Amino acid sequence: MHSSMASSKGYHLLFFFFFFFFFFFFPFLNASTGLSCYSHLFSFGDSIDDTGNWLHYAPVPGPVSQLPFGQTFFGRPTGRFSDGRLIIDFIAEALKMPFSPPYLAGKTAQDFRYGANFAVAGATALNQAFFKNKGLIVDFTPYSLGIQIRWFKKVLHLLGSTEAERKKIMSNSLFMVGEIGGNDYNHPFFQNRTFEEIRTYVPSVVNAIYASANDLIKLGAKTLVFPGNFPIGCIPVYLTIFQSNNTNDYDPKTGCINWLNDFSQYHNHALQRKLKKLRHLNPNVTIIYADFYEPTMRITKSPLSNGFGNTPLMACCGGGGGRYNALIRCGENGSTVCSDPSKYISWDGLHFTEATYRVVARGILEGPDAIPPILKKCRC
């Protein structure tokens, strides 16, 4: 009788511990060990995507190496040009994968067992020779998209010793190719090149992205995501540099600069046309266009209904009282930071807050800002 009761109690106690472990610890175990619908997550790009490569490359990394960068989520600077997580971080979380480590911080296959981040702040789609031939100074970083692809090939050979192993990794991985291309336009815009001239760079930028995509597909990539550009006409640094007394330059509903947003759309449409060709040539590959423009515009047009404050064109951090000030950047002496970054779209006048990245990430993970949404494969 007593032994039976003890056995029963032991059984119930065992069941309770199993129940507790499964429902409370399993989700975290899943997130930390990469048990996902993808085996690896690889990303390429610039400061929109950089999870720390800039810190490991730059001799003097600047304010991003100190608070308030990273204050919202990490509580410390991590090399991310934001107050917290980036789009790629939210994608990793949704896929139950660890945050992708920066390539320049890793050395062994174990370091990259769930993927790697190759994005570097300031990176361009085109190599530096292109800009030098145009008489432009583009020397923030030499690590253009083509170099990042070469880095990836080194990691791939580190992870797979045979061609069969490498093919398996390629087919089971998710590739985020960008956001990339924004700096190819930032530099000439900020160096007073004309709108007409910079438009002529778009085909070259898109072709560079296309060439990198082909490289990855030839290696066996089966799922690739290609983000478009943000609406640069709503970004504080552009609003400051290109402020105008001509009211026709501005959208009366948002205050954004129309012709700059038109340029972003010009790039995005050119990229989508190129991706259409890529899909036609590779029918067995899932090629996803990720729309960063529309979700950002939705917030800008209706900030309050999207959980943001009523100053969508202001920066949270910097020295310009919400406007961009090139003389006092976020994190430098004399700069200030807002009390609640989640109410702001822009973090430092050029990059975005974690709150904005969360909204953009949700749109491409679940829809409607990616066709098919990234999570669709995970639900099949």
Q: Which of 40, 187, 267, 351 is catalytic?
A: 351
Report d(CA 107, CA 111) in Å as an integer.
7
Which amino acid is present at 344?
Y
Per-residue pLDDT at 327: 85
| Neighbouring C-alpha atoms within 13 Å toward the C-beta of 332 | 12
Element housing 337 (H / E): strand 336-337
- One-character DSSP codes across 338-349: -S-GGG-SBSSS
Of residues 46, 184, 291, 348, which has the active-site annotation?
348
Taking 50 as the pLDDT cut, the residues of the chain under it are 1-34
Q: For this structure, is 47 an active site residue?
A: yes
Predicted local distance difference test score (pLDDT) of residue 293: 98
CATH superfamily, domain at 34-379:
SGNH hydrolase (3.40.50.1110)
Told to judge if 49 belongs to the known catalytic residues of this protein, a careful annotator would answer: no
Give the residue from 190, 37, 23 showing the smallest Cα distance to 122. 190
Structure tokens at 334: 């004399």
Short-list 176, 172, 300, CA closest to 231: 300
pLDDT at 35: 52
CB 302 within 8 A of CB 315: no
By DSSP bridging, strand 336-337 and strand 370-371 are unpaired
- Which amino acid is located at 227 in the chain? P
161 as an active site residue: the answer is no
- pLDDT score of 3: 43
At 322 the pLDDT is 80
Query: What pLDDT shows up at residue 321?
Result: 78
pLDDT of residue 123: 98
Return the SS3 of 14: helix
Give me the helices (H) in 291-338, please: 293-301
pTM of the model: 0.90
Backbone angles phi, psi at 118, to 5 degrees: -105, 0
> Could you give the C-alpha distances from 314 to 95, 255, 340, 352, in angstroms and in order?
32, 11, 13, 11
Catalytic pick among 39, 47, 173, 212: 47
Q: Which two tokens stand for residue 264?
A: 């972003």
pLDDT in the model for residue 28: 33
Domain residue spans of the chain = 34-379
Burial tier of 297 (Cβ tally within 10 Å: 0-12, 13-18, 19+):
buried
DSSP string, 229-291: ---GGGSHHHHHHT--S-GGGB-TTT--BHHHHHHHHHHHHHHHHHHHHHHHH-TTSEEEEE-
* Nearest alpha carbon to residue 363 among 272, 297, 270: 297
